[in-house]
Structure 1
Amino acid sequence: MAIDISGEWWRGDSADDVADYLEELAPGGYPVHQVARSVCASCSGDVFTIELDPSAVCARRTCVSCGAVAYMLDSDQYWMDGDEEDGPESVVCSCGSDRFESAAGFSLMDDGEVRWVSVGIRCVQDGILGCPADWKIRYGPSRHLLDLA
């Protein structure tokens, strides 16, 4: 089904709508050329809680099914835990749910290297779509990021 844009929030019916949302949004002002869905490496689960580090340019996900934690994209290299007051921030939907399907969007340069990454989400309770984090990739080679959704 197509994304519903008739209300205050864009909504999708399935995880596949996250890709369409990111392509339409073009985070950072760059077209999204490729999208990879997040899947738990431990149990193949696809529903997660999401946390952002205090800089909001890193994300990690925790599988709701098995509890496995994974840093998204290159977040493991840059994650800052912060202090007690300024620690990781949990992503919460406007409906109050903290459970999401997620995907990573990639804007690619002409040579195929990654220019910009974005974290797309869909709330499993009400379908609201979002992009809680996106950032520029300032190094190369960077194509390995395509496997780290």
Structure 2
Amino acid sequence: MTLKKTGRLWRGDNFDDLAEYIRFFKAGGYPVSVVVEPRCGECDGLAFRVDIDEEDATRRACLTCGGEEFAVAVGYAFFDEGEVRWISVGLRCLMDGALGVYADTKIDYSPSRHLLAQA
């Protein structure tokens, strides 16, 4: 499926749709060069509970059953020298396919490439 808009919400069916949505969103107005699909390090799962605090700190917890389940994609915009400039965290609801970017964070320190491995 390709992205579609129903009412105020964008919707998609899979990771590719969520990745396309993050690229369209543009992290801090910058082109997103890399989008990764986080996986649970223990079970290789793709469904998470996502917590975002008031300072845009984002944490994910693997779900084994129930609750609000989301597929996650993390988009990265880079400086010319390859350091991370901006990170956007997109979610796709596994119940209805609704898409959104729920954290959009400027990275103002270097080195920052290690952040790719933390998705």
In 2, distance between residues paired with 1:65 and 1:46? 10
The one-letter code matched in structure 2 to 1:126 is D
Q: Hey, which of these two has a bigger chunk of strand by percent?
A: 2
The one-letter code matched in structure 2 to 1:109 is F
In 2, distance between residues paired with 1:108 and 1:148? 16
Whether contact under 8 Å (2:27, 2:76) holds in the other structure is no
Gaps of 5+ in 2: none
* Residue of structure 2 in register with 1:30 after alignment: 30
Matches within 5 A, 1:72-83: none
The one-letter code matched in structure 2 to 1:147 is A
* Residue of structure 2 in register with 1:40 after alignment: 40
TM-score calculated relative to the size of structure 1: 0.75
In 2, distance between residues paired with 1:112 and 1:14? 28
In 2, distance between residues paired with 1:8 and 1:141? 38
* Residue of structure 1 in register with 2:104 after alignment: 134
In 2, distance between residues paired with 1:15 and 1:48? 14
**Partner secondary structure for residue 2 of structure 2:** coil
In 2, distance between residues paired with 1:4 and 1:42? 33
In 2, distance between residues paired with 1:141 and 1:33? 18
Whether contact under 8 Å (1:32, 1:105) holds in the other structure is yes
Runs of 4+ deviating beyond 6 Å: none
In 2, distance between residues paired with 1:59 and 1:146? 14
Matches within 5 A, 1:103-142: 103-142=73-112
In 2, distance between residues paired with 1:19 and 1:138? 24
The one-letter code matched in structure 2 to 1:59 is T
Whether contact under 8 Å (1:119, 1:133) holds in the other structure is yes
* Residue of structure 1 in register with 2:62 after alignment: 63
State which structure, 1 or 2, has the greater radius of gyration over its C-alpha atoms: 1
Aligned length: 118
The one-letter code matched in structure 2 to 1:54 is E
Gaps of 5+ in 1: 67-96
TM-score calculated relative to the size of structure 2: 0.92
Percent identity for Structure 1 against Structure 2: 47
Q: CA deviation at 1:54?
A: 2.5
The one-letter code matched in structure 1 to 2:59 is R
The one-letter code matched in structure 2 to 1:15 is F
